[in-house]
Amino acid sequence: MEIKVEFVRKRSEFGRPCNFSVQPAEVTVDIPPDPSLAEDFIPQDPVDFAVQQGPVMALSEMNTERAQVSIQGVNHVEGGWPKHVDYKNSELTTRYREEVEREEVYTRSVLRLSTLMEHYIRQNNAIDIYEEYFGEEEEEDEEEEHPFAKTIIVLRDPNVTKRMATHISWHPDANRAVAVAYCSLDFQDSRKDMSSDSYIWDLESPYGPELTLKPSSPVVTLEYNSKDWYHLLGGCYNGQIVYWDTRKGGLPMEISPVEFSHRDPVYGMCWLPSRTGTDCLSASTDGQVLWWDIRKLSEPTERLILDITKEDKLSNAQGAISLDFTPAMPAKFLVGTEQGSIISCNRDAKSPPDKIVHVYSGHIGAVYSVTRNPFYPKIFLTVGDWTAQIWTEDLLDASSIMETKCHTPYLLAGCWSPAKPAVFFIAKSDGTLDVWDFLFHQKEPSLSLKVSNDPLLSLCSQDNGRILGCGTKLGTVSLLEISPGLCTLRKNEKNLTLAMFEREARREKVLQDKRRELLLREQERAKAKVEEREDTQEVFKQAQTDFFSIIKAERRRRGQ
């Protein structure tokens, strides 16, 4: 049933306001109850009600869209001249200046401004506003600052099929760009549409690569030339050596032939100091270290087989998985192997076996990183298995002088801080970055930061130590800004670090001498036991001879 009320008025009264009056309430419709409908009512028994006592939670995700930023330039043209004066005509501008300088207003303005300028010049000469009066207290405040690191830029592999960011190299010119090598190191990884390109990223425009490098095979390592910034060296997955000139695009300038290259992926590349700046060094898991000249990559200039038995046999060679060379020690370089040993080599030796100077054994897994201390080149860091160890070349037969605790995840990369002698970084397989400062903490890292959910494979720090690049297994490179306390050299820090290394070296030398002494004692005891055994046998033989001789004499006497 529909209830409605009709309101009627004349056509002439349309548009006039309505005038309502107060009337008592009246019943419009009255529907009495129907008893026959009660028979159709069915009571519900039992009645269940659900009550939630906890708060209602919601899980939501969001991802902001990346804005595409374009770089544009502005051309500033000289202005401020009257319309009748062409600023490109030097005669008109000179004539106009002379006219202005003759006016009295110009003279009064110069005199008024000169007195004001003289006042501020005298004030600046009297007080140095940049002088630090309480530098020591500021240093103390900095020491109390809690270390931290934050992500400032994230560089992602632009390809759909993701690959590993295997190596990072900073541009030598104020670190304005970074070269990243992308390659899949998984065994027999044959995914479709996998690109072999690597990229150079400009930090001012990180939304897309500045230059695309197109090698013949995926690049495992990339290195900038510190002498010639436009030269870029790469080691490929198939063992070839590639050389680029970034001024001429992303195509390689020259590639080494396959028959004269490595047989395995090239894990280590470095530039060698020379007059021409074209010499380089490469190392691979095929057990060879090759010398090259980028002007002629048709064949290597020299070859070294990493045979620690010094028989120069490739079948006995150990595979190189990391390489380090520093200009501070131009005749030496270090090689980390898959077998867990570190080989110290001298490239000035005459014969190949003599180039292997010493072998350090301390890891039970592959040595993924080996790098010298930028302040003390005789001190070097190795990262492998579950520990990071610090060694010194002054102790050849000893073990490492310092080491970190054993971590649960595997350690995959490490590097020193260029700004502080006792600070180094370690990348782990669980995506965590550890920052160690052995001058203050030797049992726990000063900072442990979760960078990614994927394993961290590569690390590289800027020259000032402020920005650190971390490459992951899915090709993401995170640039982290380190706190000032971890990248600022404090007073007497170098001397304290050197004293710490020397103290630990002396301690290790004492332990080494003690081990030698115990070994000599054990050898003497073993020798004495052998002599005692020999003396006992001689006494037994002599007693046996005397016994039988007495019996024979007694038998003769009785027979007579």
pLDDT given at position 211: 92
At residue 308, does pLDDT exceed 70?
yes
The whole-number pLDDT of residue 141 equals 47
Q: Is the pLDDT of residue 136 over 60?
A: no
**Higher-scoring residue by pLDDT: 159, 52:** 159
- Span between the terminal Cα atoms of the chain, in Å: 159
| Backbone torsions φ then ψ of 168, nearest 5 degrees | -130, 135
pLDDT greater at residue 557 or residue 380: 380
Q: For 200, phi and psi rounded to 5 degrees?
A: -115, 125
CATH number of 149-488: 2.130.10.10
What pLDDT, in 10s, does the model give residues 186-196? 887 878 888 89
The span from the CA of 520 to the CA of 419, in Å, is 44
Task: Judge whether residue 199 has pLDDT over 90.
Answer: yes
Identity of the residue numbered 275: R
- pLDDT at residue number 142: 47
Which residues, listed in sequence order, are joined to residue 371 by a DSSP beta bridge? 381
**The 3-state secondary structure of 107-176, one letter per residue:** HHHHHHHHHHHHHHHHHHHHCCCCCCCCHHHHHHHHHHCCCCEEEEEEECCCCCCCCEEEEEEECCCCCC
SS3 43: coil
Per-residue pLDDT averaged across 497-526, rounded?
89
Q: Mean pLDDT across the stretch 114-128?
A: 86
> Does position 365 have pLDDT exceeding 50, yes or no?
yes
pLDDT digits (tens, 9 = 90+) for 141-176: 445 578 889 999 999 988 888 999 999 999 988 788
pLDDT attached to residue 47: 67
Type of residue numbered 281: L
Over the stretch 383-402, which tens digit does the pLDDT of each residue have? 998 999 999 988 887 788 89
Q: What's the chain's Rg over C-alpha atoms?
A: 41
The values of phi and psi at residue 495, to 5°, are -65, -40
Q: Of the ranges 14-18, 464-468, 528-532, which is most confident?
A: 464-468
Q: What is the mean pLDDT of residues 59-69?
A: 70
Per-residue b or e along 487-519, where b marks 16 or more CB atoms closer than 10 Å to that residue's CB: bbeeeebeeebeebbeebbeebbeeeeeeeeee
Q: Which strands form 254-255's sheet, in the order they lie side by side?
A: 219-224, 231-236, 241-245, 254-255
What pLDDT shows up at residue 465?
Answer: 87
Sequence ranges of the domains in the chain: 149-488, 491-559
Per-residue model confidence (pLDDT) at position 426: 95
Neighbours of 312 (CB within 10 A): 15
Residue-level length of the chain: 560
Q: Alpha-carbon distance 430 to 457, whole Å?
A: 10
Question: So what's the pLDDT on residue 534?
Answer: 66
Residues 6+ apart with CB under 8 A from 549: none
Could you tell me the two tokens for 483? 């706190």
CA 172 to chain CA centroid, Å, is 17
Residue 263 has what pLDDT? 92
Does the pLDDT value for residue 66 go beyond 80?
A: no
| Arithmetic mean of pLDDT, 503-517 | 89
Taking 50 as the threshold, does the pLDDT of residue 327 lie above it?
yes
Q: Name the strand (E) or helix (H) holding 545.
A: helix 493-559
Residues above pLDDT 70, as percent of the chain: 95
At residue 259 the predicted structure's pLDDT band, cuts being 50, 70 and 90, is very high
- pLDDT band, very low/low/confident/very high, at 1 (cuts 50, 70, 90): low
Mean pLDDT score, 408-420: 93
Give me the chain's average pLDDT, please.
86
- Whether pLDDT at 535 is above 80: no
Q: Is residue 338 scored above 80 in pLDDT?
A: yes
